[in-house]
A and B are shown apart, each in its own frame.
Chain A
């Protein structure tokens, strides 16, 4: 058993009690989780900043920030971003840099379900399944082009994203679609303990994703493919299948997110999806500074989404106008990517 771990302290994001790597190993836990006290700080530094931000806003605007409504806005309005970041993570973890089509794919699924239901009078559930199937297919096509034909991922997905955006505008005649049944809205809005169902769906998605990444062979294989394709291939991992699968699942998640978003508002405006593009990247990269420094990780990304929502809402409460979200997301993206680079350098 390892004896070198005497000076190291191991901690888990979940059960935070310190223990030695040896005892962790005895329980058959994930290896390599032993961390020095110094790195412990960088895991939670972003969370401390989040807390400071919240306290600051609470101090400046106690009458509006410290309300149930604020809490509900922060946690209840981010469902779209949670699904979109999960979709982006699928491909980014296996080393594909970066899928630019997730936002448009999401938006296309959202308008497609609305158009099929409202204009073509399909049953809303069938329309939903059809929309998700189309998004999944889009992911598969992306993957096929990028993996089997070896076309540059950014170019393929940028083209695909623009293409889908155009298609979305075409099938909606450039106007927002609305009028989906209110019963269907329950899949997104049904309140549970004060928060809409969409919040829990995003939470379950991210927890499942984190589980796969942390505990299963699939997750470990994904990380290796992202780290070194040739080593993984020679280890017997079916690298191309995994990459293709990542693109496909990314499409599936984006589509499901789009359908839920459409349900929440009873319809969708095709142009809206573009406004998500930057926040997705900001949150995903900020996520690499949380919980697992230097690595793209689902739970870190989930926390980053709410971190960003807190920041924006607070600034709006302080009286900032509509431009603030662009400034904030753009700024955070730069800071987050810089942080990710620095952390990665230290981890390597």
Chain B
């Protein structure tokens, strides 16, 4: 070991941040060692992202904070240029790539050099520089292809290669800020395979993630934040320790969530049936959901499973297909969102910010939208009092935090926003509730509440369809899981199924490999 290696790669101490009177970080400090994957976990609103913002200069810490990189203090407030010069790279949410630009452009943006007089970019040099990074990774991706045309695995490689440019060989630190949240299991395995090589060469990684299963599997050490305060710094992580981590994060033990729905009444009539659906990514899909049953839909990214929710909700038009609900045969080629609601089918979309909520409006206004949107006489005044009376029990049940119906939705954490989306629909009697990635980017506490609420809805006789790529979520929720391929159901996994089984079925040819198989199980320092 060289002498420099004895100093931590990154060390923070005394970091406090306040937005106006609202303090979001209290005196936080921890250290990331050389050549380790260090995870930073905490619920939404616990201050993880603020900590990253302190590092990238978007947030200013109060005086007294100290950030050192390889033992050298960083001047605060941080300037991104200094941080980069010190060998720290940040990978943004969902890999931080611009899809319509080429791999080469994404790799070199912000670093492009021009010729002296013509100011033209020297693409030959840029190409060579990008190539060197892929050589360092030992993996190759075509440089001229637009990023959105790449496979998800290649995109993950590009994101790592891009970050690697700022880190010196065998040193430096890469911060992954929720970078892996949209990756499927297969890509995740690939991602950590690549990252493991990088870490073994000496670079460190600071991993910010909601997926505790992932953290327990890949991290060497874990730092836990709760309500802006440090709960534990640099705890050694072990496989299977996600329960422990959840307890630290929440400050209470999470009630064990039994897997599977268990409320199914498969022979109860009438079931909701979807038959022969042809759409842009669906080819003869057929799904049957009995009242009280929770059915999962999953598959590879291009298998079409994630179009089913949108076709069912009338958001995306199918070329043909039939929906049998309540004894009515409805043609899907002329289906609309209003017709879907009329038939008792409601959608909780995956993209919360864009399609789930109006973030500038209050909780009550958002939750009442299904009623005001379809109310009969459009000009009669809204009965606010009745609206609230109906909503409040739901907010209690979903443990909305803060429990204020007049809070503006945009100010809530991701998990609480998702609760509002659910409250919006659960307060109406539905025949079929359709969910797309219901617990994506939601912390474990909210996740448990959401899972319970969905199961309650099923228990009260509503059919539930969950489309998602998170095998843990599906395993927790579903009575049955349908695996899609080429736009139709390829396999049916009956009965409650374990996550491994779901992954194996999705990726047919492969098993669920452990992430970072060769991580040495370290002892707590």
Contact = CB atoms under 8 A, between A and B. Distances in A.
Interface of A: 2, 4-5, 21, 25, 28-32, 34, 212, 215-218, 220-221, 223-224, 227-228, 230-237, 347-348
A32 B146 contact: yes
Contacts of A28: 122-125, 127
Contacts of A212: 119
B110 A235 contact: yes
Mostly helix, strand, loop or mixed at chain A's interface?
A: helix
Contacts of A236: 80-81, 84, 110-111
B99 to A, nearest CB: 7
Interface stretch (B1-9, B101-109, B296-304): B101-109
A217 B113 contact: yes
Given A217-B114, A224-B98, A224-B109, A31 B84 contact: no
B416 to A, nearest CB: 23
Q: Which of A220, A233, A234, A347 has the most CB of B within 10 A?
A: A234
A348 B123 contact: no
Which 9 pairs of residues, A with B, have the shortest CB-CB distance? A235-B110, A28-B124, A217-B112, A32-B102, A236-B110, A28-B123, A215-B120, A31-B104, A31-B144
19 contacts: A2-B142, A2-B143, A25-B123, A25-B127, A28-B122, A28-B123, A28-B124, A31-B127, A31-B143, A215-B119, A216-B114, A216-B119, A217-B112, A220-B105, A221-B110, A224-B101, A231-B96, A235-B111, A237-B109
B203 interface: no
Contact of A220 (B81, B92, B100, B109): B109
Given A2-B142, A29-B123, A31-B144, 11 more contacts: A2-B145, A25-B143, A28-B124, A31-B127, A32-B101, A32-B105, A217-B113, A231-B98, A233-B56, A233-B80, A348-B99
Interface in B70-115: 80-81, 84, 90, 92, 96-105, 109-114
Contacts of B81: 236
A68 B118 CA distance: 37
B319 interface: no
B101 A234 contact: no
Contacts of B100: 227, 347-348
Given A216-B119, A216-B121, A220-B109, A4 B145 contact: yes
Interface size class of B (residues with CB under 8 A): 35 or more
Nearest to A5: B144
Interface of B: 56, 80-81, 84, 90, 92, 96-105, 109-114, 118-125, 127, 142-146, 148
Nearest to B166: A236
Contacts of B110: 221, 224, 232, 235-237
Contacts of A233: 56, 80
A9 to B, nearest CB: 14
A2 B144 contact: yes
A232 B119 contact: no
Contacts of B125: 28
A4 B102 contact: no
A248 B367 CA distance: 44
Nearest to A226: B98
B92 to A, nearest CB: 6
A293 to B, nearest CB: 12
A230 to B, nearest CB: 6
Contacts of B144: 2, 5, 21, 25, 31-32, 34
A215 B120 CA distance: 5
A215 to B, nearest CB: 4
Nearest to B96: A231
B181 to A, nearest CB: 15
B507 to A, nearest CB: 24
A182 B372 CA distance: 67
Given A232-B110, A236-B80, A30 B123 contact: yes
Nearest to B97: A231
A342 to B, nearest CB: 15
Given A5-B144, A217-B121, A348-B99, A234 B109 contact: no
B145 A215 contact: no
B102 A234 contact: no
A346 to B, nearest CB: 11
A223 B100 CA distance: 11
A237 B110 CA distance: 5
Contacts of B120: 215-216
Given A28-B127, A221-B112, A234 B121 contact: no
Contacts of B104: 31-32
A99 to B, nearest CB: 23
Nearest to A344: B100
A288 to B, nearest CB: 14
Contact of A228 (B56, B84, B98): B98
A227 B101 contact: yes
Contacts of B119: 212, 215-218
Given A32-B105, A32-B144, A220-B109, A230 B98 contact: no
